[in-house]
Structure 1
Amino acid sequence: MASPAGRPRSPRARDVRWRGALAVLEEMRREPGVTRAAVARRLGLSTGSATEITARLRDLRLLAETPVAAAGRGRPTTALTPHPDGPLVIAVDLRQEDWRCAVAPLDGRPEVAAAGTHHSRDPARVAGTVGRAVRDLHRRHGDRVVGVSVAIAATVRHGRVVQSSVLGWDAVDLAALAPDPRLPLLIGNDATLAGLAEARRGVAAGAATVLHITVEVGVGGTLVVDGRPVDGAGGAGGEFGHLPFGDPGLRCPCGARGCWDLEVDGRAIARHLGDPPPADPRSYAERVLARAPADPAARAAVGAAARGLAGGIAGLVNALDPAVVTLGGLAESLRAAAEPEFGRTLAGGLMRFRRADPPAVVAAALGRDGPLHGAVVTALDHVLTEAGLAAWAAHRSPA
Structure 2
Amino acid sequence: MQDMDNTKKFNGLLSELGDCAEIEQKEIIEEMKRVIDEMNKEELYAFFKTDIFYKIHEMIEEKKISLENAILVLKHIGHCRVLKGVWNERFGGSLLQKRFEKMIIDEEKKKEEKNEKLWVDLCECYILLNKRISQEFLSTGVSCLLKVALNKEENEEAKKKVEIALVTLGSIDKWECVEQELYLHESREIIQYHQEHHNLSRFAYQSAWKFSILRLYRNREFEEVIVNELHFGREAARELDELAKCVDWKRKKEERGRETKEELAITRWLSFLYRSFCSCLLMNEEYSGIIQSIAMLFRASRDNYEEISKICKYPLMAAAGRITHIEDLLKGEAIDAVLEEFQRPTLNDEITSGFLECFDNITRRLKEKKDRTTDEEKRKALKKEIFEKMEEEGYEDIVISFHEVSGILYSKYRYQYELSVDFSNYLVNV
TM-score (normalised: structure 2): 0.31
Q: Which has the higher contact order (CA 8 A, sep 6+)?
A: 1
Structure with greater strand percent:
1
Structure with greater helix percent:
2
TM-score (normalised: structure 1): 0.33
